[in-house]
Chains A and B, each alone.
Chain A
Amino acid sequence: MKNSTRKIFISIILFWSLSPLIWQIYTSFSTPASLTEPIGTTLNRWTLDNYIQVLSANPSIFRYITNSTLLGVYTTLTTLLLAVPASYALIKLRKELRSLTRSILLLTALFPYVLLFLALLELAKSYNLANNLFLLSLPYSALSMPLAILILSSSLNDIPIELEEAAKMEGLNLLQRLRVVLLPLMKPALSSTSILVFIFSWNEYPIALTWLSKTEQLTLPVAIARLAGSSVYSVPYGAYAAATVIGAIPLLMVTLVFQKQIVNGLTQGALKG
């Protein structure tokens, strides 16, 4: 490919991926008057009012960001706690049993989980589990478990069996072998899995929407959607834009910092699944 064609292609990709975000940022710094004339020039184009409005809201947007982060941490820890032993067991299973388990995991990973919200809501209502972020992390962990087990077991599979056997000869028990030999070697897979699970739980919407109703417990996606529902046709959109920009920053950072792990995790999940 010629250098000039490549440059055009790169520009298209960058423009396509970034322009919606840039438009949000642009909107978030615009005065209400200038929003009605987005392309033409008016006086007093720039303002910080939208951000002041969002940050002075009660509860503040940081409350939702904190909730989402907590939920993400709970979910990631629970998922890893169950998925690490499960993936170890999976590669030691008999061949037929192993491929059966893997097919079941793959099928559950394909399941459009939006269909689960009603039964989970009923459970939450009848056993008083709603509005509790830690309990919400249990269904989240179940939803991320298939991908986590697939990624982790494929990385365990790549570790030469002699390594573990040598450790066994030294008299290390399973827990010690995991800690000293296996987990350090699984580090790349563990970080890919953690980051993917974290992103999933940070972004999850339908189940959080029905599970959480108290304003101070909402996660960021639900809070943003509520904002959207509150006044559908109102023109002063600047405050919404400011909220979406602040809301996008945490994951923007996560994606840029961990892009390698994200890419590896996604491709591992697809390749081995």
Chain B
Amino acid sequence: MIVLILPALILIGFIFGYPILRYIWISFHTSSVANGLIPQFNHGINWSRLINDARFWQDVLQTSRFAFVSVSLELVLAIAIALFLNQPFKGKGIIRAVSILPWALPTTIMALGWRWIFNSPYGPIDRIYNNLTGESLNLLSNPKITWIATVIADTWKTTPFIALIILAGLQTIPKDLYEAFELEGGTQFKALYKITLPMIIPYILISVVFRLAQAFGVFDLIQVMTSGGPAGSTESLGLYAYLNAMRFLDFGYSSTIMLGSFVLLIMGCLTVYCIFKMTKISIQK
């Protein structure tokens, strides 16, 4: 039996394991274009540089803000859509097919599309805003608000994914639970709060943890939509690591950024997981 599963596990172990080990090793070395990419041990200079790197911490905050706001927004919308799709009505298949389109299309293609939609002064959003207020919105060139544009594009793309998972959760709830609740005089709104939400908590939990991890690694969307700008205000950790490797050709520091991000991500996911576990218990009581 083991022989059958080994090839798959070896491939997975190599593709995920080797990079992490390699990053750990190389993060303690100087490996940049300055020394011809020949790693030299450097007594943890990369790590002290990381801790003192204002740009890294700014990116941590920006990436967390992006991940947290997008995933919260996606979750609320997804629950609404899933509750809606869970009802019987005609043409549900078409609605479902259309609503998964944003998820299925390549991110880079739609990121380019969103860049044009948010363009000022030629995009439709800016036009409408301009007609209403007489000013330009500058959604992609004002460092204070550009991150909101990236959140909108991400929400558009991944809400369907969460909605589908929550819909699957809704379909596991037995109908007689609601009937019993109604017999005891509960209202529909109360049923949502007392039955539906507690029953779908596991599905919410798994999609939130999965999405937080993915959103924390956001790369395609940012690179194509804003290239991290304006003024670095939308730069994500993935993009910063990428720039260090590909533009500044500093593999040592790029690896350090990735490991640092990974550690922070694990801590973040554990926190979210614990919060959910605690609220789950309190709801059940």
A146 touches B258 (CB 8 A): no
- Of the candidates A115, A203, A256, the one whose C-beta lies within 8 Å of that of B217 is A115
Contact mask for chain A residues 41-60; partner B; CB cutoff 8 A; 1 contact, 0 none: 00000000000000000000
Of A117, A146, A235, A247, most B-chain CB atoms within 10 Å: A117
Answer yes or no: B57 CB below 8 A from chain A CBs.
no
- Of the candidates A23, A115, A205, the one whose C-beta lies within 8 Å of that of B113 is A23
A121 contact set on B, CB distance < 8 A: 245
A14 to B99, CA, bound (A): 7
Chain A 175-230 residues near chain B, CB threshold 8 A: 199, 202-203, 205-206, 210, 220-222, 224-225, 227-229
A138 to B16, CA, bound (A): 12
Known: A39-B127, A224-B108, A247-B106. A118 touches B245 (CB 8 A): yes
A20 touches B15 (CB 8 A): no
B246 contact set on A, CB distance < 8 A: 210
A259 touches B100 (CB 8 A): yes
A2 to B257, CA, bound (A): 53
Of A141, A240, A244, most B-chain CB atoms within 10 Å: A244
Answer yes or no: A151 CB below 8 A from chain B CBs.
no
A232 to B219, CA, bound (A): 18
Shortest CB-to-CB span from B254 to chain A, Å, is: 6
B109 touches A221 (CB 8 A): yes
Answer yes or no: A163 CB below 8 A from chain B CBs.
no
A235 contact set on B, CB distance < 8 A: 122
Which one, A104-112, A127-135, A154-162, A165-173, is touching chain B?
A: A104-112
A225 to B203, CA, bound (A): 34
- Of the candidates B11, B101, B203, the one whose C-beta lies within 8 Å of that of A21 is B101
A228 contact set on B, CB distance < 8 A: 108, 111-112, 115, 224
Contact mask for chain B residues 201-216; partner A; CB cutoff 8 A; 1 contact, 0 none: 0010011011001101
A220 to B220, CA, bound (A): 13
A251 contact set on B, CB distance < 8 A: 104-106
A112 contact set on B, CB distance < 8 A: 213-214, 216-217, 238, 265
B106 contact set on A, CB distance < 8 A: 202-203, 205, 220-221, 224, 247-248, 251
Chain A residue with the shortest CB-CB distance to B226:
A232
Answer yes or no: A90 CB below 8 A from chain B CBs.
yes
Answer yes or no: B114 CB below 8 A from chain A CBs.
yes
Chain B 137-164 residues near chain A, CB threshold 8 A: 156, 160-161, 164
Answer yes or no: B73 CB below 8 A from chain A CBs.
no
A143 to B13, CA, bound (A): 10
A77 contact set on B, CB distance < 8 A: none
A142 touches B14 (CB 8 A): yes
Shortest CB-to-CB span from B277 to chain A, Å, is: 16
The tally of residues in A whose CB lies under 8 Å from a CB in B reads 88
A141 touches B11 (CB 8 A): yes
A21 contact set on B, CB distance < 8 A: 101, 105, 113
Shortest CB-to-CB span from A173 to chain B, Å, is: 13
Contact mask for chain A residues 92-115; partner B; CB cutoff 8 A; 1 contact, 0 none: 110000000100010011111111
A263 touches B8 (CB 8 A): no
B71 contact set on A, CB distance < 8 A: none
- Of the candidates A105, A119, A262, the one whose C-beta lies within 8 Å of that of B19 is A119
A156 to B206, CA, bound (A): 23
A9 contact set on B, CB distance < 8 A: 84
Which one, B42-50, B88-96, B173-181, is touching chain A?
A: B88-96
- Of the candidates B100, B123, B167, B206, the one whose C-beta lies within 8 Å of that of A38 is B123
A114 touches B107 (CB 8 A): no
A199 to B101, CA, bound (A): 11
Answer yes or no: A71 CB below 8 A from chain B CBs.
no
Chain B 207-256 residues near chain A, CB threshold 8 A: 207, 209-210, 213-214, 216-220, 223-224, 227, 238, 241-242, 245-246, 251, 254-255
- Of the candidates B18, B91, B113, B238, the one whose C-beta lies within 8 Å of that of A206 is B238
Known: A232-B227, A270-B165. A199 touches B104 (CB 8 A): yes
Answer yes or no: A267 CB below 8 A from chain B CBs.
yes
B108 contact set on A, CB distance < 8 A: 205, 221-222, 224-225, 228
Chain A residue with the shortest CB-CB distance to B157:
A20
Answer yes or no: A70 CB below 8 A from chain B CBs.
no
Known: A121-B245, A240-B112, A266-B165. 17 other contacts (CB 8 A): A17-B160, A89-B2, A90-B5, A114-B238, A115-B19, A118-B254, A119-B23, A120-B19, A138-B15, A199-B104, A220-B106, A228-B224, A237-B116, A244-B112, A256-B97, A262-B100, A270-B207
11 contacts across the A-B interface (CB closer than 8 A): A6-B87, A20-B113, A114-B218, A138-B15, A221-B107, A224-B106, A225-B224, A237-B122, A248-B109, A256-B97, A262-B104
4 closest cross-chain pairs (CB), A and B:
A112-B217, A119-B19, A142-B15, A267-B168
